Structure 1
Amino acid sequence: MTTLRRPDLTSITLAVLFIGALIVGAFLILQPFLGAMIWATMIVVATWPMLLWLQRKLWGRRSIAVALMTIALLLVFVVPLTLAVATVATHSEEIVETVRSVATTAWPALPEQLARVPIFGPTLVGIWQQASRLGIGDAFKQLQPYVAGVSKWLVSGAGTAGNLLVQFLLTLIIAALMYAGGEGAAAAVHRFGRRLGGQRGEDAVTLAGQAIRGVALGVGVTALVQSVLAGIGLAIAGVPAAGLLTAVVFMLCIAQLGPIIILLPATIWLFYQDATGWGTFLLVWTIVVGSLDNVLRPILIKRGADLPLLLIFAGVIGGLLAFGLVGIFVGPVVLAVAYKLLSAWMNEPPAPAEH
């Protein structure tokens, strides 16, 4: 008769503590690189189909495709985002002073020419008059204590120009390495998901990749298109500090707040300066650019992953507040995976009853 061997609790406890210490130590060592690693992962997953297409066009030469993709990332994605964050952080004090000056300025009356603009003019005048009666200037004064906090958040989140440059270089290098060996890394992640949760774990990994691609296409590309068009309109209309305003528009579009927050006050300023022609042009341009995300973003998100827009919006805003800029992509991915897993669990047919 064999006797059951009792588990050695001391060995199990020490093993768990040792593994926990290894995980904590690895996290502390990799902590300076986590931001760049997350950004690189998001970028590579989102642009992986483009790399494969480019590799096929280049006679199967992965090295040339990786080099071209790295240069493309440098020019199209990473540099604009880095410059936008650096610009907003550098001029954060200027933005604070502008908001404070608005709070102390008397509410101006709109010029009479604005009311004669077809369709939109009377509506804007009515909204402006109603807002002035509600005392929006007092609301600005109440928001003054929070403006400094927003400024500090921008500076701490963006860091100095040197830190941004280091993060940018790390992101680019890690992305290039991931491009070179992406298949092996993807297979390892799928094995980890399968080991962790079986088929559901592997499906969660696939879903995470689809969510990343959908968010990158829907949020990133839409924000880039809207900010570029907004900057073109501001520059053509002759609005001062068009470059800084374009950077702010890009950040607002990434945060899902839209470009109208900048474009509409710029339009009203043009009318207030008696530039009726340019004001009318920028008003029409604002309507076009502001409504572009309602058409472009759903199409791009559906191409990456079939996810509700409300879930994407909540993930972007919540992730941005919780994790900073990286959370723009981390938040929607986490919510998307949780949403899909919950939906799969709810729609799973019940197991047959045993007789």
Structure 2
Amino acid sequence: MAEPRGDLTRTLLSVIFLGGLVVASLTILRPFIAAAIWAAMIAVATWPMLLWFQGRLWKRRWLAIVAMAGVLMLVFAVPLALAIGTIVLNAQEIVAWVKSMAAFTMPAPPAWISHLPVIGPKVVAAWEQVATSGIEGLLARILPYGGQLAQWGVAEAGNLGILLMQFLLTLALTMLFYASGEAAGAQVLRFGRRLAGERGENAVLLAAQAIRSIALGVVVTAAVQAALSGIGLGISGIRFAGLLTAVVAFLCIAQVGPSPVLIPAVIWLYWSGETGWGTFLLVWTLAVVTLDNVLRPLLIKRGADLPLLLVFAGVVGGLLAFGLVGVFVGPVVLAVAYTLLRAWIADDALRR
């Protein structure tokens, strides 16, 4: 006897209902999605550290969670406190330095600049034009952009409060993930197995491994670049090297890199007539900036056995597509897709 056909209308309405339920749920959770993604990434990346604390704090999970909360707060608060403290302690010197700029006279451009191909004569002409007009002429050129800069500053000041709220929400969600990490991990593994069997479970494990590797690559590379940048700035005699080092650390973690700090420092040394130190810092800057493209992919590949090109494409593409969180999301998505595709191809080869 033939089985009765399913009710097409009921099936269609069920799909519409489930789709609407998913869309409504995502709309409700939209303000928390970014913080939840960050919290999940942080919890997965720092889980070994949590277990380390737990093993040394009498096996108490809540003590380990408190310790991890303190560590995360320090990572965010200490560089900010150092930067603010440097500004406060050197406020008078900063004011005096700004006043001295009015009497500053720009030196002649170094002779070797004119010998640079293509850009040499243009750089010399622009240099001499700025030197002739002086600080007043330079300010006159910058002044039209002052209104746009002020508007941007007001907008960013408003975003600072939102950023702080996002950080606190991320911290709270991270603590929740720490408290129920084993149960949440088991549920995710079950979901992966239910979705694609053993491959789905392996994909979940690979995603966790990729997150830890990327976190290692990003944090270690940022620390190395910030330390080397601070050394170069200090040796070159740049003022407020400590403050600038803290800025470099923030920029490197945000995947901007040290260039916005080091390149103006090089220009300032040449502008001040310190050609030797300017050349030294220029070479140092090239080495530090290049390090970002070498050290980070190698550290990430060391933790996750993935092609270097895939890791690089995931980091850069994820950053462009999703912002800062894409640095983690991009490689994880590509790693899972690459692993599943490779397993599917291998299965087809075995069947033959």
- Please tell me the TM-score bracket, short chain as reference: 0.7 to 0.9
Please tell me whether residue 132 in structure 1 is matched to residue 131 in structure 2.
Answer: no
Kept in 2, the 8 Å contact 1:66–1:179? The answer is yes
Partner of 1:76: 75
Report the Cα distance in structure 1 between the residues aligned to 2:300 and 2:188, rounded to whole angstroms: 23
Partner of 1:342: 341
Query: Helix, strand or coil for the counterpart of 1:60?
Result: coil
Structure showing greater radius of gyration is: 2
Where do residues 83-232 of structure 1 align in structure 2 (5 Å cutoff)?
110-112=109-111, 125=113, 128-132=116-120, 160-231=159-230
Kept in 2, the 8 Å contact 1:256–1:316? The answer is no
| Shift in Å, 1:337 | 1.4
Give the direction of change, closer, same or farther, for the CA distance of 1:78–1:303 in structure 2 (3 Å limit).
farther
Render the CA deviation track for 1:69-128: whole Å, top value 9, x for unaligned: 1111121258769x99xxxxxxxxxxxxxxxxxxxxxxx97425xx6xxxxxxxxx5885
Query: Helix, strand or coil for the counterpart of 2:49?
Result: helix
Query: Helix, strand or coil for the counterpart of 1:350?
Result: helix
Partner of 2:36: 37
| Shift in Å, 1:196 | 0.8
Report the Cα distance in structure 2 between the residues aligned to 1:157 and 1:307, rounded to whole angstroms: 38
Where do residues 4-83 of structure 1 align in structure 2 (5 Å cutoff)?
4-76=3-75
| Shift in Å, 1:37 | 0.4
Where do residues 221-300 of structure 1 align in structure 2 (5 Å cutoff)?
221-231=220-230, 233-234=232-233, 237-239=236-238, 249-250=248-249, 253-254=252-253, 258-260=257-259, 262-276=261-275, 278-279=277-278, 282-283=281-282, 285-293=284-292, 296-300=295-299
CA RMSD of aligned residues (A): 3.9
Q: Which moved more, 1:254-263 or 1:216-225?
A: 254-263
Kept in 2, the 8 Å contact 1:111–1:272? The answer is no
Give the direction of change, closer, same or farther, for the CA distance of 1:230–1:204 in structure 2 (3 Å limit).
same
Q: When the two structures are superposed, what TM-score results if normalisation uses the length of structure 2? A: 0.73
Give the direction of change, closer, same or farther, for the CA distance of 1:74–1:257 in structure 2 (3 Å limit).
closer
Give the direction of change, closer, same or farther, for the CA distance of 1:244–1:335 in structure 2 (3 Å limit).
farther
Segments of 5+ residues of structure 1 without an aligned counterpart are 85-107, 116-124, 139-147
| Shift in Å, 1:297 | 2.3
| Shift in Å, 1:298 | 4.2
Partner of 1:102: none
Give the direction of change, closer, same or farther, for the CA distance of 1:17–1:151 in structure 2 (3 Å limit).
farther
| Shift in Å, 1:188 | 0.4
Partner of 2:142: none
Report the Cα distance in structure 1 between the residues aligned to 2:70 and 2:8, rounded to whole angstroms: 55
Tell me the amino acid that sits aligned with residue 326 of structure 1: V
Partner of 1:88: none
Give the direction of change, closer, same or farther, for the CA distance of 1:344–1:240 in structure 2 (3 Å limit).
farther
Report the Cα distance in structure 1 between the residues aligned to 2:223 and 2:64, rounded to whole angstroms: 24
Report the Cα distance in structure 1 between the residues aligned to 2:327 and 2:37, rounded to whole angstroms: 11
| Shift in Å, 1:344 | 2.7
Kept in 2, the 8 Å contact 1:58–1:64? The answer is yes
Q: When the two structures are superposed, what TM-score results if normalisation uses the length of structure 1? A: 0.72
Tell me the amino acid that sits aligned with residue 10 of structure 1: T
Partner of 2:133: none
Give the direction of change, closer, same or farther, for the CA distance of 1:336–1:352 in structure 2 (3 Å limit).
closer
Give the direction of change, closer, same or farther, for the CA distance of 1:300–1:36 in structure 2 (3 Å limit).
same
Render the CA deviation track for 1:191-236: whole Å, top value 9, x for unaligned: 0111111111111111111111111111233124313542454366
Tell me the amino acid that sits aligned with residue 68 of structure 1: A
Report the Cα distance in structure 2 between the residues aligned to 1:327 and 1:159, rounded to whole angstroms: 23
| Shift in Å, 1:30 | 0.5
| Shift in Å, 1:45 | 0.8
**Number of residue pairs aligned between Structure 1 and Structure 2:** 310
Kept in 1, the 8 Å contact 2:110–2:275? The answer is no
| Shift in Å, 1:66 | 1.0
Partner of 2:316: 317
Report the Cα distance in structure 2 between the residues aligned to 1:152 and 1:336, rounded to whole angstroms: 41
Report the Cα distance in structure 2 between the residues aligned to 1:211 and 1:127, rounded to whole angstroms: 48
Kept in 2, the 8 Å contact 1:254–1:328? The answer is no
Give the direction of change, closer, same or farther, for the CA distance of 1:349–1:19 in structure 2 (3 Å limit).
closer
Give the direction of change, closer, same or farther, for the CA distance of 1:257–1:32 in structure 2 (3 Å limit).
closer
Q: Which moved more, 1:161-170 or 1:277-286?
A: 277-286
Segments of 5+ residues of structure 2 without an aligned counterpart are 84-106, 127-146
| Shift in Å, 1:32 | 0.1
Report the Cα distance in structure 2 between the residues aligned to 1:279 and 1:152, rounded to whole angstroms: 34
